[in-house]
């Protein structure tokens, strides 16, 4: 077995349970997870858990008990989170594909914060807001591109299905959407970042174009959501992101952007190191002087 402290502490329990199973299983360090989340949650940055990272009931309950909010991208995820006692005011609806049926389901369950990734989504959310007689808070998801000859912090301009470009959003007249309240912008175009300096440079590069977009669209930029992308090394790499360093950088971004709230959506960084895949070894053989 692994020499991780959780595995060593519970080695006999895991071995005994494994002997009764014909299939692999996961073992979770729930106490360790709770302690980890407690160290992350703070008053300066609003943290959302990306439920797609792990929708297990005990994970959701543990994170909720430590003050995490929930980033939910489907009706199934929503039902699972609500079933664990999470209140709808602690839920954010994200995702590039939102059908009318899905948006309606979120309204029916009392969710009132949405990320709009297209003009169509904006229209559907506005339509259902009118139908339900509520005014939801909306963040517009932005996909940035940088000039070809510039020092591109994204490392490229690959087109993705997430959000709209600055020019595309600038064509939208928000006054046509009377039943919603656009409060902020969302951006997230990177993943599993292991270098704090690179991540901080990305965040810093987002401030000016997003502030400019909010001015062009004539709404007050109260919320900036920087998504996630905080990495975990899966291959034995010793690099680890220092949360205190990142938190201070985020506090600086919040001040420079002039927003009331700064949001992050954490997935693997929240939970990856607290689950263990257990599989019994059923055979060992020596072949060409190597044990397999």
Nearest-angstrom CA–CA distance, 96 and 163:
7
pLDDT at residue 147 is higher than 70: no
Mean pLDDT for the chain? 92
Integer CA distances (angstroms), 138 to 115, 135, 184, 248, in order: 6, 9, 7, 26
pLDDT at residue 237 is higher than 80: no
How confident is the model at residue 240, as a pLDDT? 85
The stretch 275-281 carries a mean pLDDT of 90
Query: pLDDT confidence of 36, banded at 50, 70, 90?
Result: very high
Nearest-angstrom CA–CA distance, 179 and 135:
6
Query: pLDDT confidence of 145, banded at 50, 70, 90?
Result: confident
- Strongest mean pLDDT among 151-165, 179-193, 210-224, 275-289: 210-224
Query: pLDDT confidence of 155, banded at 50, 70, 90?
Result: very low
Integer CA distances (angstroms), 227 to 45, 138, 186, 287, in order: 12, 15, 7, 48
Of 71, 73, 51, the closest CA to residue 60 belongs to 51
How confident is the model at residue 241, as a pLDDT? 92
The stretch 278-283 carries a mean pLDDT of 88
**Helix 57-65 / helix 75-83 crossing angle, nearest 10 deg:** 60
How confident is the model at residue 49, as a pLDDT? 98
Residue 272 tokens, joined? 């990856």
List, in order of start, the domains of the chain with CATH numbers: 29-278 (3.20.20.10)
pTM beyond 0.85: the answer is yes
pLDDT at residue 189 is higher than 90: no
pLDDT at residue 252 is higher than 80: yes
How confident is the model at residue 157, as a pLDDT? 53
The stretch 105-126 carries a mean pLDDT of 98
pLDDT at residue 86 is higher than 70: yes
How confident is the model at residue 192, as a pLDDT? 83
How confident is the model at residue 158, as a pLDDT? 63
pLDDT at residue 154 is higher than 80: no
pLDDT at residue 206 is higher than 70: yes
More confident residue, 148 or 12: 12
Return the number of other C-beta atoms located less than 10 Å from residue 17's C-beta. Answer: 13
Of 19, 71, 38, the closest CA to residue 263 belongs to 71
- Tell me the β-bridge partners of 138: 114, 182
How confident is the model at residue 280, as a pLDDT? 85
pLDDT tens readout for residues 120-140: 999 999 999 999 999 999 999
3-state helix vs strand vs coil in the chain, percent to 5:
40, 20, 40
> Can you tell me whether residue 247 is helix, strand or coil?
helix
Residue 155 tokens, joined? 């490392």
Residue 278 tokens, joined? 């257990």
pLDDT tens readout for residues 2-31: 557 888 899 899 999 988 988 999 999 999
């Amino acid at each position: 077995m692994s020499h991780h402290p959780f595995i060593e502490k519970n080695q006999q329990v895991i071995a005994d349970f494994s002997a009764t199973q014909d299939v692999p299983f996961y073992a979770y360090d729930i106490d360790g997870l709770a302690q980890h989340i407690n160290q992350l949650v703070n008053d300066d940055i609003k943290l959302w858990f990306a439920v797609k990272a792990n929708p297990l009931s005990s994970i959701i309950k543990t994170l909720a008990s430590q003050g995490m909010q929930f980033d939910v991208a489907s009706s199934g995820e929503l039902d699972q989170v609500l079933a664990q006692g999470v209140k709808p005011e602690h839920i954010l609806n994200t995702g590039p594909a939102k059908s009318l049926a899905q948006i309606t389901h979120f309204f029916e369950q009392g969710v009132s914060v949405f990320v709009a990734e297209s003009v169509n989504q904006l229209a559907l959310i506005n339509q259902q807001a009118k139908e339900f007689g509520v005014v939801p808070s909306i963040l517009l998801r932005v996909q940035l591109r940088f000039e070809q000859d510039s020092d591109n912090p994204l490392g490229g301009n690959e087109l993705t299905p997430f959000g709209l470009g600055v020019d595309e959003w600038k064509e939208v007249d928000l006054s046509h959407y009377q039943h919603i309240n656009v409060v902020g912008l969302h951006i997230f175009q990177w993943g599993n970042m292991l270098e704090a300096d690179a991540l901080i440079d990305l965040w810093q590069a987002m401030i000016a174009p997003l502030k400019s977009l909010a001015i062009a669209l004539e709404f007050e930029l109260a919320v900036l959501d920087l998504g996630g992308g905080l990495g975990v090394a899966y291959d034995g790499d010793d690099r680890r992101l220092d949360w205190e360093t990142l938190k201070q950088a985020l506090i600086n971004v919040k001040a420079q952007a002039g927003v009331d709230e700064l949001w992050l959506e954490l997935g693997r960084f929240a939970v990856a190191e607290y689950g263990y895949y257990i599989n019994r070894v059923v055979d060992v053989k020596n072949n060409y002087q190597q044990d397999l």
